[in-house]
């Protein structure tokens, strides 16, 4: 029987070459896109699922409603209290030492630059199963001045992994390499190159308000996480903020961090659940369109196989036998399409990996082979079931007598599916345009600072900039040709602020909100291109601007605040803030503060992407809490690459042993929206594929329609109808269906796009003309597709057609 099915299927394909080719091509294109997306989604969902006890492991995160920001950091001093909470089984810590430890080290006279160094609690291996390749990892996590290196870091520094026992001389300590562990897999939110013990000599003794630790909790089975989060919120507020309701503690499931965490303090760039959802939806839409094409063309071509069905029924074939035959044929078509799709996937993978920045691969593994087999069977059955039932239902007597009356069911199904297909195409076109419009809008939005022609040098040691008001490095850079407006700051406005404090004005209560601040040098307003509303910039002519000790031993400095801070302080205008003396908090207690003088007020600044709210911000001159800073310069002459080369050359002379990075501020800002650009690009690609598949479907159906109406067209031509009239006659049915598609596509697309746009503080309002344009485009494509067949039929000689009939 199987052999007979194969022969029948082969002959059917030969008789209907164009029909079979269109089916296979449509299925292959839709499947290849779906397979690529399935690989991407599978990879995104796999993050951190390999960890032991992943289902009951969480990361603590603080949310500050007053500042509109959040961070996955708490004080390591909180560990004592956490270990006493009944619902908590175990506590793990990771502390980033990039701001505490000088990364420059020396090994046998060779200068090296360490990668990302974290201090870890001694039980880290129970959270993260690191594979030790050499040495004793536990020693590195318990003894002082010991390091554990990842295998990639060992190869980068030494060229090999046989480095246990080697010593590295740093500025403040001498490190000994105790272990080498296997580099972390890509599908993890953890990102570090080196580990060391979290001993007090290195990390200090942080206070409860000093947020220095990524803290992970393993809860006991059956623990109520919502209740635990509420208890930890009350406990942390009591210990760190004197009982004031300053923060909300949140428990982030470790398997959700990669897709759901949106903090600016992540170890590496995370993914997005929105991207995964969109990709999954788009891939399903493409497969749906491909299946719609299959069903439509199969039912449209049913008449050509009606006599075959009638003969087989007359010879005793039952309906189940006919159904199984037609399902076998559809599954065989699906198999050919899957094989073609896998070839397309292999060709597209390098490009797709670059687009989504992921190491995806389609292998001959059992899981992949099983998935492809299931996909083939599922496609064959789902796409072929209705055509099989429809074909097998023909009456043998009526077919063989020539009295085949086609039922209305198949026509209704074809029209409904074609309407859905067109609605999907219209919705995707609108979505692609709106995504690109929103991204273009964000890139053109004023952010409160200048991005064009600005360069930023990151990784400079704090001592080179903040130790002296007249830093020699700044003066040397300022003297370079083609460079001007040189200043520095301890945070990048395209990323995030690193520190926050309480700024107390007269009448401010003790529970005043924490405000982010940026330590900077002279001329920061001009260097960053800030909009000065009142007062002046930090100026070297005013020596008191720079942070210094007064006669009473207390510090003093000048500050520049944003307009929103002046409003918070109850000032009626920016000018009223100039000259005010406020207090800058450095810790808890009345003595942990010093006076600051407001010399300028600038417009509010968008720190990071437009998804983040514009929080109040202040700049303080010559004062910083971090160990590294960024140099900000303006390229004034020639191409910006020329200025970068000049800047790098001078810095290599001034700081030959420092690993510095020079970036363009405009490019840093664009990088904030790389994830959204990726979504827009994917939507655009899927939009093009959807339109392509829709054209295939319409092409196949219009071909059948033109063929079946040849006699009618010939008679109309004899009666005087022009070729354009005949084309419009064939196209009218499809254009009317497109009108119904609009009623489906517009509300659905509008709802989904509004949901996406709501995640931005600044967003566009899609124009109604966009929906009209998308509809007009799909109508035009449909008309042209139908016209390609209609013109051929309309050009045939009526005498030849009628004679054949």
Question: Which tokens sit at 670?
Answer: 């664009």
For residue 653, the tally of other CB atoms under 10 A from its CB is 8
Weakest-pLDDT range from 295-299, 705-709, 800-804: 800-804
pLDDT at 296 over 80: no
Cα–Cα dist 393/389, whole Å: 6
pLDDT at 148 over 70: yes
From the CA atom positions of the chain, what is the Rg in Å?
A: 34
Average pLDDT of the residues in 421-438: 82
- Please provide the distance, in angstroms rounded to a whole number, between the alpha carbons at the two ends of the chain: 37
Of the two residues 364 and 744, the one the predictor is more confident about is 744
Average pLDDT of the residues in 751-760: 80
Cα–Cα dist 192/338, whole Å: 40
pLDDT at 281 over 70: yes
What was the pLDDT predicted at 724? 73
Average pLDDT of the residues in 617-625: 92
Nearest to 704 by CA among 30, 24, 23, 26: 23
pLDDT at 667 over 60: yes
Cβ atoms of 174 and 130 closer than 8 Å: no
Average pLDDT of the residues in 648-662: 78
Percentage with pLDDT > 70 across the chain: 83
Helical residues (DSSP H) of 83-173, grouped into ranges: 124-127, 137-142, 151-158
Dihedral over alpha carbons 283, 285, 287, 290 (to 10 degrees): -140
Percentage with pLDDT > 90 across the chain: 25
DSSP helix/strand/coil, 181: strand
Weakest-pLDDT range from 24-28, 597-601, 604-608: 24-28
Weakest-pLDDT range from 496-510, 515-529, 616-630: 496-510
pLDDT at 672 over 50: yes
Weakest-pLDDT range from 349-353, 525-529, 669-673, 780-784: 780-784
* 583: CB partners within 8 A, 6+ apart: 503, 504, 505, 593, 594, 595, 596
pLDDT in tens, 634-645: 988 777 888 888
What was the pLDDT predicted at 423? 83
* Distances in whole angstroms, Cα of residue 573 to Cα of each of 531, 534, 578: 15, 9, 10
Average pLDDT of the residues in 347-351: 91
pLDDT at 488 over 60: yes
Question: Which tokens sit at 524?
Answer: 């920061």
Helical residues (DSSP H) of 393-451, grouped into ranges: 396-400, 408-444
Annotate 498-519 with b (16+ C-beta within 10 A) or e (fewer). bbbbbbbbeebeeebbbbbbbb
Nearest to 136 by CA among 103, 176, 107: 176
Cβ atoms of 359 and 186 closer than 8 Å: yes
* Distances in whole angstroms, Cα of residue 31 to Cα of each of 102, 133, 421, 728: 52, 41, 16, 33
Average pLDDT taken over every residue of the chain: 81
Average pLDDT of the residues in 126-133: 93
Weakest-pLDDT range from 28-32, 354-358, 539-543, 789-793: 789-793
**What does the DSSP assignment read for 535-556?**
E----TT-GGGS-EE-TTS-EE
> What DSSP designation does 187 have?
S
pLDDT in tens, 546-564: 999 887 778 899 999 999 9
Weakest-pLDDT range from 262-276, 282-296, 476-490: 282-296
Cβ atoms of 454 and 634 closer than 8 Å: yes
What was the pLDDT predicted at 222? 87
Cα–Cα dist 704/44, whole Å: 43
Average pLDDT of the residues in 404-421: 64
> What DSSP designation does 101 have?
S
- Between strands 514-520 and 618-621, the pairing is parallel
What was the pLDDT predicted at 405? 46
pLDDT in tens, 680-721: 787 788 778 877 877 777 776 666 666 666 666 666 766 667
Q: Work out the pLDDT band at 502, boundaries 50, 70, 90.
A: confident
Indicate the length of the chain as a whole number: 805
Nearest to 447 by CA among 493, 486, 492: 493
What was the pLDDT predicted at 59? 95
């Amino acid at each position: 029987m199987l052999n007979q099915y194969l022969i029948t299927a082969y002959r059917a394909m030969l008789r209907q070459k164009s029909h079979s080719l269109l089916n296979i091509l449509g299925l292959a294109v839709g499947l290849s896109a779906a397979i690529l997306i399935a690989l991407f989604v599978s990879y995104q969902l796999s993050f951190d699922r390999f960890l032991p006890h992943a289902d009951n492991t969480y990361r603590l995160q603080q949310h500050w409603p007053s500042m509109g920001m959040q961070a996955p950091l708490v004080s390591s001093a909180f560990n004592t209290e956490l270990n006493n909470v009944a619902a908590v089984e175990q506590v793990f810590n990771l502390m980033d030492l990039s701001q505490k430890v000088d990364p420059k080290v020396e090994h046998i006279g060779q200068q090296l630059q360490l990668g990302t160094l974290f201090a870890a609690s001694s039980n880290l291996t129970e959270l993260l199963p690191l594979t030790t390749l050499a040495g004793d990892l536990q020693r590195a996590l318990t003894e002082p001045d010991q390091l554990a290196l990842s295998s990639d870091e060992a190869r980068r520094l030494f060229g090999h992994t046989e480095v246990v026992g080697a010593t590295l001389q740093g500025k403040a300590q001498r490190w000994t390499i105790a272990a080498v562990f296997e580099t972390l897999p890509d599908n993890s939110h953890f990102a570090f190159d080196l580990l060391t013990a979290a001993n007090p000599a290195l990390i200090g003794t942080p206070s409860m308000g000093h947020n220095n630790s990524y803290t992970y909790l393993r809860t006991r089975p059956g623990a109520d996480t919502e209740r635990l989060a509420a208890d930890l919120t009350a406990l942390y507020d009591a210990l760190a903020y004197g009982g004031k309701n300053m923060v909300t503690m949140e428990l982030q499931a470790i398997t959700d961090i990669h897709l759901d965490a949106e903090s600016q303090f992540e170890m590496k760039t995370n993914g997005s659940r929105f991207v995964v959802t969109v990709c999954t939806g788009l891939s399903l839409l493409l497969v749906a369109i491909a299946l719609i094409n299959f069903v439509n063309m199969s039912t449209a071509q049913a008449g050509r196989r009606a006599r075959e069905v009638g003969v087989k029924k007359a010879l005793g074939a039952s309906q189940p036998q006919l159904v199984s035959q037609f399902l076998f044929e559809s599954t065989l078509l699906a198999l050919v399409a899957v094989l073609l799709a896998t070839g397309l996937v292999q060709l597209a993978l390098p490009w797709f990996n670059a687009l989504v920045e992921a190491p995806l691969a389609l292998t001959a593994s059992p899981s992949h082979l099983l998935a492809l087999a299931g996909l083939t069977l599922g496609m064959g059955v789902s796409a072929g079931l209705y055509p099989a039932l429809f074909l097998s239902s023909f009456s043998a007597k009526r077919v063989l007598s020539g009295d085949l009356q086609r039922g209305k069911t198949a026509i209704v199904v074809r029209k409904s599916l074609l309407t859905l297909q067109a609605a999907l195409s219209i919705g995707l076109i609108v979505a692609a345009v709106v995504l690109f419009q929103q991204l273009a809008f964000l890139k053109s939005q004023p952010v409160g600072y200048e991005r064009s022609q600005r360069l930023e040098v990151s990784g400079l040691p704090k001592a080179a900039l903040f130790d002296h008001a007249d830093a020699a490095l700044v003066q040397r850079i300022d003297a370079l040709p083609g460079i001007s407006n040189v200043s520095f700051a301890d945070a990048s406005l395209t990323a995030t602020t690193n520190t926050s404090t309480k700024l107390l004005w007269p009448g401010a209560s003790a529970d005043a909100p924490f405000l982010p601040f940026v330590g900077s040098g002279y001329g920061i307003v001009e260097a960053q291109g800030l909009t000065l509303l009142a007062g002046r910039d930090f100026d070297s002519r005013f020596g008191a601007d720079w942070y210094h000790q007064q006669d009473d031993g207390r510090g003093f400095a000048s500050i520049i605040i944003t307009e929103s801070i002046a409003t918070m302080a109850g000032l009626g205008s920016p000018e009223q803030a100039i000259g005010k003396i406020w207090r800058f908090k450095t810790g808890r207690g009345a003595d942990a503060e010093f006076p600051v003088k407001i010399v300028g007020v600038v417009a509010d600044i968008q720190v990071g992407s437009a998804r983040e709210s514009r929080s109040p911000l202040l700049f303080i001159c010559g004062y910083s809490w971090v160990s590294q800073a960024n140099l900000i310069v303006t390229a004034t002459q020639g191409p910006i690459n020329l200025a970068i080369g000049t800047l790098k050359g001078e810095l290599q002379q001034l700081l030959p042993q420092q690993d510095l990075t020079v970036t363009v501020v405009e490019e840093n800002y664009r990088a904030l929206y790389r994830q959204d650009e990726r979504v827009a690009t994917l939507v655009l690609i899927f939009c093009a594929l959807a339109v392509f598949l829709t054209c295939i479907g319409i092409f196949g159906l219009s071909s059948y329609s033109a063929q079946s109406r040849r006699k009618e067209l010939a008679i109309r031509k004899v009666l005087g109808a022009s070729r354009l009239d005949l084309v419009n006659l064939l196209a009218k049915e499809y254009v009317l269906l497109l009108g119904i598609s609009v009623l489906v596509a517009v509300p659905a697309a509008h709802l989904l796009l509004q949901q996406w746009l709501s995640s931005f503080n600044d967003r566009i309002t899609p124009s109604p003309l966009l929906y009209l344009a998308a509809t007009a485009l799909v109508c035009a494509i449909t008309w042209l597709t139908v016209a390609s067949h209609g013109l051929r039929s309309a050009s045939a000689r009526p005498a030849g057609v009628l004679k054949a009939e």
